[in-house]
Amino acid sequence: MHFLDQAKIFIRSGAGGPGAVSFRREKFIEYGGPDGGDGGKGGDIVFEAVEGLNTLIDFRYTQHFKAPRGKGGHGRNQTGAGGKDLVIKVPVGTQIISDDREHVLADLTEAGQRIVFLKGGDGGRGNASYKTSTNRAPRQHGTGWPAEEMWVWLRLKLLADVGLVGLPNAGKSTLLNAVTNANAKVGAYPFTTLHPKLGVVRHKGREFVMADIPGLIEGAAEGAGIGDRFLGHIERCRVLLHLVDANNEDVAEAYRIVRDELDAYGEGLEDKIELLALNKADTLDEELLDALSDELEAEAGVRPLRLSGATGEGAEAVLDALLEHLQPEQKQAEADETGGWSPL
């Protein structure tokens, strides 16, 4: 399945149906008069977040969504049928953004969440509703309220607990494959990851979601490489795991480049909890790893964990450290579900 995290679509609710102009003329009925019914209400545009979707690719081929209008009213005071609501199903984590991309109009962050985004027009009044003591045979009627329409952008921000960041070829995809059920592409060349990947980590009876995004290079905020657009997928992450390749000529510079791009992007990424890991530790001896760790500690202010995504060395310690930051919220969520009781 192709990955698409942005799409522009046109949406229009249904217009209200017109009211009817009708008069009773049954034989042997003493009193006649107007009996035109009201028009039906137009269909709403409804967005619903559903599980099982992780791309907006369907909106590349279908870009116009129009709810049906209400039916016209009938004689004998019969109201016209209402237009059926049009439900647009989107992945969990989808934002609806204005056409100028300046305002977030809705944010669907939970499975099953529904929002009536555009309301259908109300039906027009039939001539029966215009009858008064002085206007016994009205012929006016309402034409129905117009539809609402607009262009919007859909933007998908994947929901994950941990986000992997680093330069291209830092070993992010290898680690994701090693500790989760993902099957991300791995290659000995830059930008093997061209779109975000998700995987579920199961560790010590706990589960959390890890996201891998394409690597950042210097100038990504200005569009270098494949840019920094995919950083939107880790905006919702609680913890960032920053991988630095131990084989880089200057590990401190490698760390600084990524941090500068996170700071330039903003959106709260610069303030997120970050764990630092020196990856591919299996390729160097202990003495050199100590020297590289000293360089990273001097730059980042924290001692990096040592890790090898290829062999699994150090992965246990990294996952333990991630759980230390994730467990408090997980325990609180479990307590809320169980009414405050927890087995831990």
Residue 341 has a pLDDT of 47
Residue 43 counted as domain residue = yes
End residue of a domain, out of 135, 156, 177: 156
Q: Are residues 170 and 150 in the same domain?
A: no
pLDDT of residue 129: 93
In a domain, 1, yes or no: no
User: What is the model's pLDDT at position 244?
Assistant: 93
Same domain? For 133 and 198 the reply is no
Per-residue pLDDT of the chain (344 residues; tens, 9 = 90+): 467 889 999 999 999 999 999 998 877 777 788 999 999 999 999 999 998 888 898 998 899 999 999 999 999 999 999 999 999 999 999 999 999 999 999 999 999 999 999 999 999 999 999 999 899 999 999 999 999 999 999 999 887 899 888 888 888 888 988 888 766 555 444 444 556 788 889 988 888 989 888 766 565 545 454 445 677 777 888 899 999 999 988 999 999 988 988 888 888 888 889 999 999 999 888 999 999 999 999 999 999 999 998 888 999 999 999 999 887 554 444 445 545 444 43
User: Could you tell me if 44 and 176 lie in one domain?
Assistant: no
Q: Find out whether 212 is annotated in a ligand binding site.
A: yes
In a domain, 146, yes or no: yes
CA–CA dist 242, 220 (Å, integer) = 16
Q: Is 254 annotated as a binding residue?
A: no
Residue 342 marked as a ligand binder: no
pLDDT at position 67 is: 97
Has residue 237 been placed in a domain?
Answer: yes
Q: What domain range is 89 assigned to?
A: 6-156
Domain assignment present for 250: yes
CA angle 151, 153, 157 (to 5 degrees): 160
Examine the domain organization and report whether 138 and 166 are in the same domain.
Answer: no
279 is in an annotated binding site: yes
Asked if residue 270 and residue 121 are part of one domain, the reply reads: no
The domain boundary, picked from 156, 188, 221, lies at: 156
Count of domains in the chain? 2
Which CATH number covers residue 33?
A: 2.70.210.12
252 labeled binding residue: no
- Residue 268: give its domain's CATH number: 3.40.50.300
Residue 344, in any domain of the structure = no
Does the annotation flag 310 for ligand binding? yes
Residue 280 known to bind ligand: yes
99 labelled ligand-binding:
no
For residue 228, give the nearest of 265, 266, 275, 257 by alpha carbon: 265
Are 151 and 233 members of one domain? no
Tell whether 212 and 113 lie within a shared domain. no
pLDDT for the residue 158:
80
Whether 213 and 324 map to the same domain: the answer is yes
For residue 28, the model assigns a pLDDT of 76
79 with 16, same domain: the answer is yes
Orientation of helix 286-300 relative to helix 251-265, angle to 10°: 30
Residue 214 annotated as lining a ligand binding site: yes
- Residue 166 annotated as lining a ligand binding site: yes
In whole angstroms, give the CA distance from residue 44 to residue 21: 26
Whether residue 175 sits in one domain with residue 151 = no
User: Tokens representing 238?
Assistant: 């609680």
288 & 213 share domain? yes
Q: Which residues contact 125 (CB under 8 A, 6 or more apart)?
A: 19, 38, 39, 141, 142
68 is in an annotated binding site: no
Is residue 219 part of an annotated ligand binding site? Answer: no
Q: 72 with 86, same domain? A: yes
Query: Could you give the C-alpha distances from 40 to 47, 66, 248, in angstroms and in order?
Result: 22, 16, 68
**Nearest in space to 307 (alpha carbons), one of 289, 325, 327, 287:** 289
Is 117 part of any domain?
A: yes
Q: Is residue 248 part of a domain?
A: yes
Q: 156, 173, 190 — which closes off a domain?
A: 156
Q: How crowded is residue 44: how many other Cβ atoms within 10 Å of its Cβ?
A: 20
